[in-house]
Amino acid sequence: MNYKQEIEIKGSRKYNGEAIGLLGPPGVGKSTIGKLLAEKLNIQFYDLDDLIAKSAGVKTIKGIINTQGWPEFKRIQHQCKKDFFENTESKYILAYGGAVNRPGCNAKLTDENKNLVKKYLFNICLTPSDEAKEANDILWSRQNDGKRETGCKTKKEHYTYVEGLIPQYIKVADLVVFTHAATIVDTVEGIMKVVGEKASNDFAE
């Protein structure tokens, strides 16, 4: 595969003006890209991790994971996501996690999360590549910013992590954007080619 900006529609569902969900591995740029995309579409951007941290009274989700563990964080994450969908009626972009299986966590919650995001969102997967080595080389250097917590202590562990998760992200998505050789601006413009006209019409105030 030639690693360049590439957009691929997954499945048969086309974008019809729904709220937009951004998923993908930690460090891929969901928040940065989501904010710029929301600005172009004149809609609100939300980061589920920030919503969870705010509700728990901590600075980042890392604090919850380190003190309460992954299973409890996943429970909180699911409830926060469910509450958000049930109480947010306007169109928006949501960067989120929780729709892929993580070893040691509740697989039933993951399945429920998948059903939720498929019900409420047009899901866009952001990933550097569908090749684990390529993705690992790019993402590993972004894991030590104090915000993220993958549970990986070495680059080798992180390789195994992304190798298991990226195929799951892609499977959930309605649209996949490979970002390896693309700037943030290129990525946003690529997404706009798919959702822009429909979004601008449906999201206009």
- Segments forming the whole domain that contains residue 114: 6-203
Q: Could you tell me the CATH number of the domain that includes residue 184?
A: 3.40.50.300
pLDDT of residue 186: 86
pLDDT of residue 9: 58
Q: Is 103's pLDDT higher than 80?
A: no
Tens of pLDDT, residues 12-41: 578 989 999 999 999 999 999 999 999 999
> Which tokens in the block code for residue 6?
């590439």
Number of Cβ within a 10 Å radius of residue 87: 7
pLDDT of residue 160: 93
DSSP string, 108-135: HHHHHHHHHHHHHEEEEEEES-SSHHHH
Contact 48, 95 (CB under 8 A): yes
In 3D, which of 78, 74, 80 has the Cα closest to residue 105? Answer: 74
What gap in Å lies between CA 135 and CA 180, rounded to an integer? 8
Q: Is 1's pLDDT higher than 60?
A: no
pLDDT of residue 4: 45
**Which comes out higher in pLDDT, residue 5 or 39?**
39
What gap in Å lies between CA 9 and CA 16, rounded to an integer? 14
Number of domains present in the structure of the chain: 1
18 domain residue, yes or no: yes
Question: Is 145 strand, coil or helix?
Answer: coil
1 domain residue, yes or no: no
Tens of pLDDT, residues 68-89: 888 889 899 999 999 999 999 8
134 domain residue, yes or no: yes
pLDDT grade, residue 6 (50/70/90)?
A: low
69 domain residue, yes or no: yes
pLDDT of residue 112: 93
Amino acid at residue number 197: E
Phi, psi of 10 (to 5 degrees): -100, 130
**Which comes out higher in pLDDT, residue 197 or 162?**
162
Q: Which residues pair with 46 in a beta bridge?
A: 94
